[in-house]
Amino acid sequence: MKTQVAIIGAGPSGLLLGQLLHNAGIDNVIIERQSPDYVLGRIRAGVLEQGMVELLRQAGVGQRMDREGLVHGGFELALDGRQVHIDLNTLTGGKTVMVYGQTEVTRDLMAARREAGAQTIYQAGDVVPHGMKSAETFVTFEKDGQAWRLDCDYIAGCDGFHGVARQSIPADCLKVFERVYPFGWLGILADTPPVHEELVYARHERGFALCSMRSATRTRYYLQVPTSDHVDNWSDQRFWDELKLRLPQDLANKLITGPSIEKSIAPLRSFVVEPMQYGRLFLVGDAAHIVPPTGAKGLNLAASDVSTLFNILLKVYREDRLDLLEKYSEICLRRVWKAERFSWWMTSMLHRFDDQDAFDQRIVESELEYFIGSEAGRKTIAENYVGLPYETIE
């Protein structure tokens, strides 16, 4: 088999890159370890920055998002019972975010790819990239008991944090930056109406809580729990009771509860690998970086990497701009690190850290007070939350 760009992983990164390349006439094949249903079964985040919304439209997959997605012009901070509104729209001169689940984005991208007739090989085993530093670049894999070789010009490693792409780069060529937080998020999905029309990020002495949603009838709620905790310890009743304790009274009174349709714990981690490329292999999205979910940046960073790689490849194939290839990592990392900083900051401000002493706690409280009490501070929060601009590739 032969293609121009071999894409490893059919998550949002791989599918979006594949769609943009296909539309531009650049041939690509996606190789994915799991089945489409398995990929769609993963419940992930649901807040899209304007840059990602525009990129999805550009890829031709924005119709259902524009019909069904919820445009949010702000969000709520609940600080030990007090509510502070962050008016994204006003603070950023008219910007908003789109609440539309990653599962739906993935579903739309899969449908578009099927319609376009572009090739995706699902349930591929033992995927290995080869020859990244040579002119003979290829990916080998196994499908239905048979060994395959896919020759290509470039490889996009869109295979997430646990994927093979990053692991196939010699360790001494990479620098890893990492912070593991001593807690996770216990999330539930329920067919109940949202407690509030906007997202609510709650800081509370019992721990952080988040009220999010997927639609007017489906909600996603999270609680900070210790890393050692287990979902089996959390009946639906216990979850709802604890959530009420962490929300301001009037929201707790309004909370409508119901049976959960999904419940899981995700650890919180900050992770960046530098550089995000090795010869003809480019790391995209979670394969190169992880953020704690507090700023809703994970999926959006994947989209900005995709945009960067797509625009570089476009100029490589159309204008022979091979010089741009080596710039991929530095362009991505400038934006990645800003989102890492914001996600770390939101996490630090809103979670309970058991190892903080009284002094640390006062510093955090006063930092938050300063940010929310100052127009400049609220603007800083808002411009990061709606998403920093994408760099133009020239």
Cβ-proximal residue to ligand PHB, closest one: 212
In the chain, % helix, strand, coil (3-state, to 5) comes to 40, 30, 30
263 catalytic residue (yes or no): no
Q: Is 385 a catalytic residue?
A: yes
Nearest to 275 by CA among 339, 334, 345: 334
SS3 72: strand
Q: Is 74 a residue that touches ligand APR (CB under 6 A)? A: no
Exactly one of 5, 7, 9, 78 binds ligand APR (CB under 6 A); which one? 9
- Joined together, the tokens standing for residue 155 give 């490889």
Q: Which of ligand APR, ligand PHB, none is residue 275 near (CB under 5 to 8 Å by kind)?
A: none
Under a CB-based contact definition with an 8 Å cutoff, are residues 97 and 198 in contact? no
Q: How far apart are CA 163 and CA 166, in angstroms?
A: 7
Applying CB under 6 A, the residues found at the interface with ligand PHB are 45-47, 199, 210, 212, 220, 293-296
Q: Please pick, from the candidates 49, 159, 242, 340, the single residue that binds ligand APR as defined by CB under 6 A.
A: 159
Does the protein bind ligand APR through residue 8 (CB under 6 A)? yes
Q: Name which of 32 and 198 has its Cβ closer to ligand APR.
A: 32
Helix (H) or strand (E) run with residue 370 in it: helix 358-373
Among positions 278-297, residues that touch ligand APR (CB under 6 A) are 285-286
Quick one: which segment of 160-168, 196-204, 247-255, 319-327 binds ligand APR (CB under 6 A)? 160-168
- The contact pattern for ligand APR, residues 299-338, with x = CB under 6 A and - = no contact, is x--x------------------------------------
Q: Is residue 212 involved in binding ligand APR (CB under 6 A)?
A: no
- Among ligand PHB, ligand APR, none, the one that 296 touches (CB under a kind-dependent 5 to 8 A) is ligand PHB
> Given the rule CB under 6 A, which of 47-55, 157-165, 258-266, 273-281 is the region that contacts ligand APR?
157-165
- By DSSP bridging, strand 277-278 and strand 281-283 are antiparallel
Q: Do residues 201 and 76 lie in contact, with contact meaning Cβ atoms separated by under 8 Å?
A: yes
Nearer to ligand PHB, 106 or 294 (CB): 294
Residue 78 site contact among ligand PHB, ligand APR, none (CB < 5 to 8 Å, cut-off depends on kind): none
Q: Is 201 a catalytic residue?
A: yes
Euclidean distance between CA atoms 308 and 13, whole angstroms: 12
* CB-based burial label for 237 (10 Å; 0-12, 13-18, 19+): exposed
Check binding of 13 to ligand APR (CB under 6 A): yes
The C-alpha atoms of residue 286 and residue 275 are separated, in whole angstroms, by 14
Q: Judged by CB under 6 A, which of 10, 91, 283, 313 binds ligand APR?
A: 10
Query: Choosing from 154, 201, 221, 328, which is the catalytic residue?
Result: 201
As a three-state string, the secondary structure of 2-68 is ECCEEEECCCHHHHHHHHHHHHCCCCEEEECCCCHHHHHHCCCCCEECHHHHHHHHHCCCCHHHHHH
Number of residues that bind ligand APR (CB under 6 A): 27
Tokens of 41: 């079964």
| Token pair belonging to 370 | 């300063």
- Round to whole Å and give the CA distance between 302 and 290: 10
Instruction: Choose between 1 and 245: whose C-beta lies nearer to ligand APR.
Output: 1
Q: Is 297 a catalytic residue?
A: yes
Question: In whole angstroms, how close is the CB of 383 to ligand PHB at the nearest point?
Answer: 16
User: Is 2 known to be catalytic?
Assistant: no
Q: Does 273 bind ligand APR (CB under 6 A)?
A: no
3-state secondary structure of 193: coil
Active-site residue list: 72, 201, 293, 297, 385
- Binding footprint of ligand APR on the chain (CB under 6 A): 8-14, 31-34, 39, 44-45, 102, 127, 158-160, 162-164, 285-286, 298-299, 302
